[in-house]
Amino acid sequence: RGIIVVVFAPLLMRLGYGITWKEGTILVYGGLRGAVGLAMGLMVEHHAYVDRNVSAMVAFHVSGIVLLTLLINGTTVNSIYRRLDPYPANAYRMTYVRNVLCMVENECRKEIVERMSNDWFFQTVDFETIARCVPRFSHIDFNGAGVPHPEGV
């Protein structure tokens, strides 16, 4: 798998979105799950000229190796992904999110006030009190990971 990624990397870089060395590393590491070995073990198990005891032992050991590979790969790929950080966060993401939240909040408040204040059913409603009860999305604080903390809402 690693050889295929290295050989085709120049072609992949020119076509489509391309591939970086970090993506290639994750691609190769993520492919180490024992699928080829398991397929070969199953072929040996179902081969007519191989003794049943030998084929059962091969299938058992190959399955065990595949299981261990999956356990090791599955538990370590997250830390490798974090360490490589192939897709760093956009520095302006939070600015975009704040701007969109402000636009949505302003449009919603404007629509609600215009529509509800003109409706006969809501003539006696105190819109200032309702506005205090509705979350103010423009005042949401975000931590470094982009998780909202609505203390200022």
State mean pLDDT over 95-111.
Answer: 86
Tens-place pLDDT, residues 106-117 = 888 888 777 887
pLDDT for 152 beyond 70: no
Question: What pLDDT is stored for residue 150 in this prediction?
Answer: 67
Q: What's 151's DSSP letter?
A: G
Would you call 6 helix, strand, or coil by DSSP? Answer: helix
How far apart CA 27 and CA 35 sit, in angstroms, is: 15
Question: What pLDDT is stored for residue 113 in this prediction?
Answer: 77
Q: Considering the chain, what is the average pLDDT of its residues?
A: 84
Tens-place pLDDT, residues 39-87 = 888 888 888 888 888 888 888 888 888 889 889 988 999 999 999 998 8
Give yes or no for a contact between 62 and 37, defined as CB atoms under 8 angstroms apart.
yes
Question: What pLDDT is stored for residue 151 in this prediction?
Answer: 66
Residue whose C-alpha is closest to residue 116's, from 101, 103, 131? 131
Phi, psi of 85 (to 5 degrees): 50, 65
How far apart CA 19 and CA 110 sit, in angstroms, is: 46
pTM: 0.56
For residue 45, give both structure tokens: 């198990």
